[in-house]
Amino acid sequence: MRTDHLQRLVFEEINARCVWVQLDAVTRAVLTRADYPPPVADQLARALLVAATMSSGIKFDGRITLQLQAAGPLSLLMADCDHDGGLRGIARLKEGAELPPTSTALFRTLAEGGTLALTVEPARHGQRWQGIVPLEGTRLDQALESYFRQSEQLPTRFKLAFDGERASALMIQKMPGETADDDGWNRLEYLIDTLGEEEMLAAEGEEVLRRLFHAEERRIFPARELHFYCPCTRERVAAVLQGLGQAELESLAAEQERVEVRCEFCNEAYHFDQVDLAALIQGDDPDDSPTVH
């Protein structure tokens, strides 16, 4: 049974790191919350893999977000992952836009003038950081490799695989500083080039990593569980409604007996009746305990 998890390795002699990600339950949880066409679902699943992979570098309580924006039919692709392995994602389509028939063709429309952004945001204290580059390449893995080449000057390789149900990712990255093995990085690149999508999706990560790197000196860290998580709460939604201002809330109360606000990420619906709206207009919180999904 495949489990949703992230596994980290470090090749100390080569001064490089490796991250393996497996997603099954998370991709199902995200993709079943909206009626995404297959090409969009494919790109969103790959974005979730990237967000999970990038979270391996978080050293504090916080969240890392991958965001792709473009003017084409797929206007926004976003996925994020927090320090506890909680993942969520969303794709936005232009209303009435005609989608390309394949995932590869869809990504090309993203790359036409699109941008790629990685954002690291501490949960409490600390400085928010964001890197933005033009989208390059014909696949998401190529775009990420280009990002690290331009923004971080770190040689990086990605492998992403998704078959409609299962998803897997492998990343290797050369770290700054000297290496005791001059040919080590070339060997790692050669090894991951032997890895096909079929093997990535059929085998457990432990088996894949053992097959690839059994001859390399490596340090293996404990695996980290990954899961779907949306931090929306009734309390947060109420705060958003209050931010509309008293006049807007009074207008809503006059027009509707009950206001529904639906989270775009988890599709959870929050309802506010006339009593709730009156409390918000007065600056109070609705009398209901928040729930997190």
CATH no. for residue 40? 3.55.30.10
**How many domains does the structure of the chain reveal?**
2
Boundary-marking domain end, from 228, 243, 264: 228
CATH code of the domain in which 273 resides: 3.90.1280.10
Do residues 60 and 89 share a domain? Answer: yes
Model pLDDT, residue 286: 59
Which pTM was predicted?
0.87
| Shared-domain flag, residues 104 and 249 | no
Write out pLDDT tens, residues 45-100. Answer: 999 999 999 999 877 788 999 999 998 899 999 999 999 999 999 999 988 888 99
| Residues 112 and 31 grouped into a single domain | yes
252 and 195 in one domain?
no
Mean pLDDT of the residues in the chain: 89
Q: Are residues 128 and 258 in the same domain?
A: no
Let me know whether 123 and 215 are in one domain: yes
Please provide the distance, in angstroms rounded to a whole number, between the alpha carbons at the two ends of the chain.
25
Query: 260-276: per-residue pLDDT in tens?
Result: 887 777 777 888 888 88
241: pLDDT confidence band, cut at 50, 70 and 90?
Answer: confident
> Domain for residue 131, yes or no?
yes
Residues 122 and 256 in one domain: no
With contact defined as beta carbons under 8 Å apart, do 6 and 20 qualify? yes
Domain end position, chosen among 228, 249, 271: 228
Examine the pLDDT at 9 and tell me if it is beyond 50: yes
The closest of 65, 69, 35 to 52, measured between CA atoms, is 65
**Domain limits at 78?**
5-228
Identify whether residues 61 and 183 lie together within a single domain: yes
Q: What is the DSSP string of 140-192?
A: HHHHHHHHIIIII---EEEEEEE-SS-EEEEEEEEPSS--S-TTHHHHHHHHH
- Asked if residue 232 lies in contact with residue 12, where contact means CB atoms within 8 angstroms, the answer is no
The pLDDT score that the predictor gives to residue 292 is: 41
